[in-house]
Amino acid sequence: MRVDKVVPAAQGYKRVAKIPLKGVLLAINKLSNKTYKKLYPRYLAWLGVNISDKFSEYGDPWISPECRFDAAGYNLITLGDGVTISYGTSILVHDYSIDKALYARRGTHGKLLKSVTIGRNCFIGANTMILPGTVIGDDCIIGGGGRLSKAAFRLDRSYAATRLALLEL
């Protein structure tokens, strides 16, 4: 089982500064959606999310201010150009569920950290949970309310989160 490396450097002051900055971005979103769409990807890059400088130039990307990016490893999250992520989506890079099993067997604590990659021009529906190790290919549509894990999804085209239909574009 491979665990991706986490780079904790430079998160000290960012832990404190990200809260008021997010509030400012929320206010900007209410005043000017166009400005928010340019600034929010820069904010995510500042936190450590791997996001291209040309993110906003591809298509009409949108990242809802209600999305939750896992602070356990911002640098383990990669967003392709032109991605749309709807409200309530959670992107997790950690899994503490193995902690109970490790403690029961060995008396030690632990966690699993795996990267998450979302390809270019993807749409992630509302209230989707993206679990550690998930790789979503380019040009994918993920229906709302789904839970994606590395075992279930290495997508190359469109699926509803329920995996009922493949849409050839």
| pLDDT > 50? residue 3 | no
Residue 150 pLDDT level (bands cut at 50, 70, 90): low
User: Once rounded to an integer, what is the mean pLDDT over residues 110-125?
Assistant: 90
Instruction: Specify the pLDDT at position 62.
Output: 92
Q: Among 43-52, 95-104, 136-145, 159-168, which is the least confidently predicted range?
A: 159-168
DSSP 6-36: ---TT-HHHHHHHHHHHHHHHHHHHH-HHHH
Instruction: Specify the pLDDT at position 106.
Output: 85
| pLDDT > 50? residue 168 | no
Angle of CA points 61, 37, 120, to nearest 5°: 25
Pairing between strand 166-167 and 158-159? antiparallel
What is the average pLDDT score of the chain? 81
Q: Which fold has domain 12-161?
A: UDP N-Acetylglucosamine Acyltransferase; domain 1 (2.160.10)
Q: What is the SS3 assignment for 38?
A: helix
Q: Higher-confidence residue: 134 or 150?
A: 134
Residue 20 pLDDT level (bands cut at 50, 70, 90): confident
Sequence spans of domains, the chain: 12-161
Residue 51 pLDDT level (bands cut at 50, 70, 90): very high
Q: Among 63-67, 123-127, 147-151, 164-168, which is the least confidently predicted range?
A: 164-168
Which long-range contacts does 68-72 make (Cβ < 8 Å, 24+ apart)? Answer: 69/44, 70/94, 71/15, 72/6, 72/111, 72/113
